[in-house]
Amino acid sequence: MLLDNYLSFHNKVIISVIISGFWIYFRTSDCYNLIPRKQIFPVFFVMIWTYLNYYEPLFLPIGLIILIAYAKFMKKK
């Protein structure tokens, strides 16, 4: 799917694991509020994100970026 001509599936998995490790290491208490409770958008987002991640490992870092952007957007409201 994404960058198949440049990266093997194994390399994509390694990249995703490293990025998720960075996210876990540098997270703050605000990170626990990234996915608000009892809201439909985050539920569908995480469900679709999980499904896509099984087929394309690079969806993990993409999803983390979207979650961070969503949290910053919701914080400004």
> Is the residue at 3 inside a domain?
no
The yes-or-no verdict on residue 76 having pLDDT over 80 is no
Question: Is 67 among the domain residues?
Answer: yes
For helices 40-55 and 59-76, angle between their N-to-C axes, nearest 10 degrees: 160
- Locate 23 and state its tokens: 């996210």
Note whether residue 19 is domain-resident.
Answer: yes
Q: Is residue 1 part of a domain?
A: no
Taking the mean position of all CA atoms in its chain, how far away is CA 48?
11
The pLDDT tens digits of the residues spanning 43-64 come to: 888 889 888 888 899 999 988 8
Classify residue 49: in a domain, yes or no: yes
DSSP notation for 33-72 = GSS-TT-HHHHHHHHHHHHHHHH-TTHHHHHHHHHHHHHH
Q: pLDDT grade, residue 3 (50/70/90)?
A: confident
Decide if 30 is inside a domain. Answer: yes
Which pairs with CB-CB distance under 8 Å and at least 24 residues apart come from 39-47?
Answer: 45/70
Q: Say what the pTM is.
A: 0.68
Within a domain: residue 51?
A: yes
Average pLDDT value over all residues in the chain: 83
Q: Range of 24's domain?
A: 9-76
Query: Domain for residue 21, yes or no?
Result: yes
